[in-house]
């Protein structure tokens, strides 16, 4: 099982450029999440989805958009990249929303905006 | 507002000894707490959890203790092994019944041979 797969692993963007971070999972999980991790900080929730066609904002949604057309895929879109979006981005999925349910994370995408 | 805090950025422990990682929280409504472990260039992986109605949960070498009156939890690793060297995050679900996690800043654990 591949689990949660993110592409690309690394990317350098210029200010104002756009890009999509891809995330796909093969565990048939309904629940998917996008987090960002800044240096020396914990992960912060950007957006989440409870199923195909349903998304909602997390703690830090500004500057990002998401879509969920299939159970497997949950892409994150940056429309106008800013230096403040330099971070490591993690996609995750879970089979339940029970509080102690394990979330499975991808390997991360390291994004630098210059 | 940092609802989950890990005040020690790093910890160094000798192999075979006990590692104790600490976490404090401010939101008394959290019903679960989870610990995740992260190696460099990898995503976090789930380690162990504890319900707010318990004060201890054990899984092999890993034990988590919860002190609700102090709003404090700790992760004990006994005995510590070199493969335990990683960053450990304490986390809690933002909303009851949901997996939207709020994370602490993390503690980098180094196990010395």
- Which tens digit of pLDDT belongs to each residue from B19-70? 999 999 999 988 899 999 999 999 999 999 999 999 999 999 999 999 999 9
* Pairing mode, strands A76-78 and A64-66: antiparallel
Do B94 and A100 count as a contact with CB atoms less than 8 A apart? no
Report the pLDDT value the prediction gives residue B100, as an integer from 0 to 100.
82
Do B96 and A59 count as a contact with CB atoms less than 8 A apart? no
Among all residues of chain B, which has the CA nearest to that of A105?
Answer: B43
SS (H, E, C) A14-30: CCCCCEEEEEEECCCCC
C-alpha distances out from residue A66 to A21, A73, A76, A111, B6, Å: 10, 10, 5, 17, 30
Kindly list the residues from chain A whose CB atom is less than 8 angstroms away from the CB atom of residue B3: none
Domains recognised in chain A with CATH numbers: 4-113 (2.60.40.10)
Report the pLDDT value the prediction gives residue B61, as an integer from 0 to 100.
98
* Among B41, B46, B106, beta carbon nearest to A103: B46
Among all residues of chain B, which has the CA nearest to that of A4?
Answer: B43
Domains recognised in chain B with CATH numbers: 4-112 (2.60.40.10)
d(CA A63, CA A34): 13
* Pairing mode, strands A31-37 and A19-25: unpaired
Report the pLDDT value the prediction gives residue A64, as an integer from 0 to 100.
98
d(CA A6, CA B11): 30
Report the pLDDT value the prediction gives residue A96, as an integer from 0 to 100.
83
* pLDDT tens, N- to C-terminus, chain A (114 residues): 689 999 999 999 999 999 999 999 999 999 999 999 998 889 999 999 999 999 999 999 999 999 999 999 999 999 999 999 999 999 999 998 777 788 999 999 999 999
d(CA A6, CA A108): 6
Report the pLDDT value the prediction gives residue B98, as an integer from 0 to 100.
55
Q: Are B75 and B8 in contact (CB under 8 A)?
A: no
* Among A4, A43, A96, beta carbon nearest to B103: A43
Residue A111: what are its φ and ψ, rounded to 5°?
-115, 130
Report the pLDDT value the prediction gives residue B6, as an integer from 0 to 100.
97
Report the pLDDT value the prediction gives residue B9, as an integer from 0 to 100.
95
Do A99 and B31 count as a contact with CB atoms less than 8 A apart? yes
Q: Are B26 and B3 in contact (CB under 8 A)?
A: yes
Give pLDDT tens digits for B60-104: 999 999 999 999 999 999 999 999 999 999 999 876 545 688 999
Kindly list the residues from chain A whose CB atom is less than 8 angstroms away from the CB atom of residue B101: 33, 35, 43, 45, 103
Q: How far apart are the first and last CA of chain B?
A: 38
How far off is chain A from B84, nearest CA to CA, in Å?
19
B interface test, pick of A44, A99, A107 with most B CB neighbours within 10 Å: A99
Tokens at B49, concatenated: 């959890």
Q: Are A68 and A74 in contact (CB under 8 A)?
A: yes
């Amino acid at each position: 099982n591949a689990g949660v797969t993110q592409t690309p692993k690394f990317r350098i963007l210029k200010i104002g450029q756009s890009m999509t971070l891809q995330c796909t999972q093969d565990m048939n999980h309904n629940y998917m999440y996008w987090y960002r991790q800044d240096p020396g900080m914990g992960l912060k929730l950007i957006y989440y989805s409870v199923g195909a066609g349903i998304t909602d904002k997390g703690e830090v949604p500004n500057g990002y958009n998401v879509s969920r057309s299939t159970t497997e895929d949950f892409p994150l879109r940056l429309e106008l990249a800013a230096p403040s979006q330099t971070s490591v981005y993690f996609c995750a999925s879970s089979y339940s929303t029970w509080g102690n349910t394990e979330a499975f994370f991808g390997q991360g995408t390291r994004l630098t905006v210059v | 507002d940092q609802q989950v805090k890990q005040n020690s950025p790093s910890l160094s422990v000798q192999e075979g000894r006990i590692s104790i990682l600490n976490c404090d929280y401010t939101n008394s409504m959290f019903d679960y707490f989870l610990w995740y472990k992260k190696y460099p260039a990898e995503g976090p992986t789930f380690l162990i959890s504890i319900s707010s109605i318990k004060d201890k949960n054990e899984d092999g070498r890993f034990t988590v203790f919860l002190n609700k009156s102090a709003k404090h939890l700790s992760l004990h690793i006994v005995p510590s092994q070199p493969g335990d060297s990683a960053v450990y995050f304490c986390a809690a679900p933002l909303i009851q019944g949901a997996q939207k996690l709020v994370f602490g800043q993390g503690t980098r654990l180094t196990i010395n041979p």
